[in-house]
A and B are shown apart, each in its own frame.
Chain A
Amino acid sequence: MRCARDPVVGASGDLVECVGTVVDITERKRAEEKLGESERRFRLLVESIPHHVWSFRPDDTVGYWNQRLIDYTGLTPEEIQAGGWAALHPDDVVRVKAAWQEAWVNGGAYEMEQRIRGRDGHYRRFVCSAVAVKDEHGRPAEWFGTDTDVEARRQAEEALHKAQAELAHVARVTTLGELTASIAHEVNQPLAAIVTNGQASLRLLSRSKPDIDEAREALESIIADSLRASEVIKRIRALLRKTGPAKSRLNINEAIREVIAFTAGELKKNHASLVTELAPDLPTVIGDRVQLQQVMLNLIINGNEAMNSPDLQTRELLVRSQRTGPDGVLVIVKDTGTGLDPNDRERVFDAFFTRKEGGLGLGLSISRTIIEDHGGKLWATSNEGPGVSLQFLLPPASKTNDEQN
């Protein structure tokens, strides 16, 4: 109850009477308590949730930082009021400011991954997102946002990528080891031509009437073949190198042709013929040359091995590249082999799945990882005729990860 006494003064200044009022303030008190309670709960919520919570005003001043954020950055209230950018990584400043500009203009949501410095001086990565509360004119009046710590997650992703790269390297080396005989043949071919050309030149020059022109052509062939042999060695070295992801613009057809040169011997050994249909006007792709060649190597060898069976009538491997969609690239490796059990169509991409004796079963699983890292897709379909088609799609250059140089 609220009691109040209001004195009433007469004309002469003497107290005439007192008017008293008694108001039942029970309801109001209850409401105030509830509000206080609600405020406490709300504060508890905002302080306890495992994210930074903050607000930000048009004049670049900070409206609110929750305790977690204050504790993380270790900034003083003065430093905080000086500007919310204090703990932002200097290399992220440009990016973040640009994104804020955008958000202010559009009034839409803000979301950016940025690095924020902790009180220990180390930066951690956070996903920062905010929404605007608009004024009566529909313009953003204040932004309310959270930061979520994703540092641990990013480190785990990086470790995973590193492990995948190691595995891919191992698989690559193993595959190349299996191809040794073929590769030796690829080097031996130009060497044999060099020897024959050399011997021919000697004969041409020791005639009573030496054929200098023909001997010169023989020498030119010798040079070309020497370069051919060293190219093979160079390509093998490139494939054997342990590479970090190194994406660049590449001509997929050229990459495919190089791989075909490695596998020609294997196909011939199997009495298989190779048909290539490489579209001439393919869009440029952004990708890691070594990794994509690893995928091609894997698909071609798999296709060849699928045609191992002695009672096969035709052994033909088709390698086709074509444009797909606006600027994507589709590559198909089609065999005429023993075919795929419908149940296995997805299982073949599982790690360690193999129907091959002595096989590791890693090739397709690694290939799929590589293609998906490129933003693409790899899948298998049964042909209308005999055999299987393995196809992968690479997205247009604009949609993939940024080119690294």
Chain B
Amino acid sequence: MMSKTNQVVFVVDDDASMCTAISRLLGAVGLEAQMFPSGQKFLASKLPDVPGCLVLDVRLPGLSGLDLQQEMFARGIHYPIIFITGHGDIPMSVQAMKAGAVEFLTKPFRDQDLLDAIRLAIRRDRAARKHRAELSKLRERLDSLTPREREVMTLVVTGMLNKQIALELGTSEKTVKVHRGQVMHKMKADSLAGLVHMTDKLGIEFTGLGGIGLKS
């Protein structure tokens, strides 16, 4: 059983009774829940920075469930979403899943189905957070490189030898060696393979003669 404080489930449904019932269910299995009667109230609240997910009714007053999904994306709120609906919204369910929802359940749903979806969603959120944190760290390190160091790094990860790199950049092999050392140090890479992984994660690639670009 997971502890109550290190994750949260946001329940957004304008039917107060349903909201409370879901909260109660989550409480019964040791999950912490926060309730909101509308998308606007959810967006206006101060969200804790812990792993979690949303259980969201598709039909809400004002901002619909799908609109909220888009709005969250625009605001950089990354919580995975589980949609619930009281209507037989088949076309809407397809739309919701395509937009990246974890699950789409029709009321009344089996409690196990909801709990399973929530556990899956929180697992995904943890992984996503970890990934984002890593990326953020790597970006910081990338930003600390000088332009020349970046150029060198881009060519190093293609497997070119220092001599070749020196030729490519029109500089001496010794200079290249120095830059290379700086790159390894600033990026905190302990091997070439490690550096390659990092640049992959950052989406940097060598785009050809004289070009350095980011993978689209």
What is the minimal beta-carbon distance from A369 to any residue of chain B, in angstroms?
33
| Nearest-CB residue, chain A, relative to B58 | A268
Our pick among A204, A225, A268 for the contact of B28 (Cβ within 8 Å) is: A204
Question: Which of A60-68, A185-193, A336-344 lies at the interface with chain B?
Answer: A185-193
Majority DSSP secondary structure for residues of B touching A: loop
Instruction: Write out, one digit per residue, whether chain B residues 54-81 have a CB within 8 A of any chain A CB (1) or not (0).
Output: 0000011110100100000000000000
Cβ-closest chain A residue relative to B24: A200
The interface residues of chain A lying within 8 Å CB-to-CB of B147 are none
Contact among B20, B59, B110 with A221 in the assembled complex (CB-CB below 8 Å): B20
**CB–CB B25/A200 < 8 A:** yes
For window 228-281 of chain A, which residues contact chain B by CB distance below 8 Å?
228, 265, 267-269, 271, 273-274
Interface size class, chain A: 20 to 34
Residues from chain B with a CB closer than 8 A to the CB of A268 are 59-61, 64
B60 partner residues in chain A, CB cutoff 8 A? 268
User: Measured between alpha carbons, how far is A195 from B109 in the docked complex, in Å?
Assistant: 8
> Do B21 and A221 have beta carbons less than 8 Å apart?
yes
| Interface flags, B23-36, vs A, CB<8A=1, else 0 | 01101110000000
Q: How far is the CA of A194 from the CA of B20 in the complex (A)?
A: 11
Q: Is A174 an interface residue (CB 8 A)?
A: no
A217 within 8 A of B: yes
Chain B residues positioned under 8 Å from A197 (CB to CB): 21, 24-25
Contact, CB under 8 Å: B28 / A196: no
Q: Which residues of B contact A211 (CB under 8 A)?
A: 28
Interface flag for B138 (CB, 8 Å): no
Whether A189 pairs with B59 at a CB distance below 8 angstroms is no
- Quick check: B107 and A188 within 8 Å, CB to CB? yes
Task: Specify which chain A residues have a CB less than 8 angstroms from the CB of B109 in the assembled complex.
Answer: 192, 195-196
Chain A nearest Cβ from B44, distance in angstroms: 15
Q: Are B24 and A188 in contact (CB under 8 A)?
A: no
Known interface pairs A203-B28, A214-B28; A271-B21 also in contact (CB < 8 Å): no
How many chain B residues sit at the interface, stated as a range, is 20 to 34
Interchain nearest-CB distance for B98 vs A (Å): 20
Contact with B along A192-213 (1 / 0, CB 8 A): 1111110110011001000100
Q: Provide the residues of chain B in CB contact with A269, threshold 8 Å.
A: 59
**Quick check: B24 and A192 within 8 Å, CB to CB?**
no
Please state if A189 and B111 are interface contacts (CB–CB under 8 Å).
no
Q: Which residues of B contact A214 (CB under 8 A)?
A: 24, 27-28
Question: Could you tell me if B28 and A195 are in contact, using CB atoms closer than 8 angstroms?
Answer: no
Whether the pair B61, A200 counts as a contact (CB closer than 8 A) is no
The distance from the CB of A214 to the nearest CB of chain B, in whole angstroms, is 6
Of A188, A196, A217, A221, the most chain B CB neighbours within 10 A belong to: A196
- At the interface, yes or no: A224 with Cβ under 8 Å from chain B? yes
Chain A residue with the shortest CB-CB distance to B64: A271
- Shortest Cβ distance from B89 into A: residue: A269
- Complex contacts, A217 vs chain B, CB 8 Å: 24
Question: Known: A185-B87, A188-B107. Contact between A196 and B61, CB under 8 A?
Answer: no
Q: Say yes or no: A221-B17 contact (C-beta < 8 A), given A188-B86, A192-B108, A268-B59.
A: yes
B15 contacts the other chain (CB 8 A): yes
Which residues of the partner chain A approach B62 to less than 8 Å between Cβ atoms?
271, 273
A274 touching B24 by the CB < 8 A rule? no
> Nearest Cβ distance between residue A86 and chain B, in whole angstroms?
68
Determine the residue in chain A with the shortest Cβ distance to B66: A271
Query: Cβ of A218 < 8 Å from any Cβ of B?
Result: yes
Q: Which residue of B lies closest to A217 (CB)?
A: B24
Q: How far is the CA of A229 from the CA of B86 in the complex (A)?
A: 14
- Which residues of chain A have a CB within 8 Å of any CB of chain B? 181, 185, 188-197, 199-200, 203-204, 207, 211, 214, 217-218, 221, 224-225, 228, 265, 267-269, 271, 273-274
Knowing that A191-B107, A199-B111, A273-B62 touch, tell me 18 more A-B residue pairs with CB under 8 angstroms: A188-B86, A189-B107, A191-B108, A192-B21, A193-B15, A194-B108, A195-B108, A196-B22, A196-B24, A197-B25, A200-B24, A207-B28, A224-B17, A265-B59, A267-B61, A268-B64, A273-B61, A274-B61
Report 6 cross-chain contacts, Cβ distance below 8 Å, ordered by A residue.
A189-B18, A193-B17, A203-B25, A204-B28, A221-B21, A221-B24
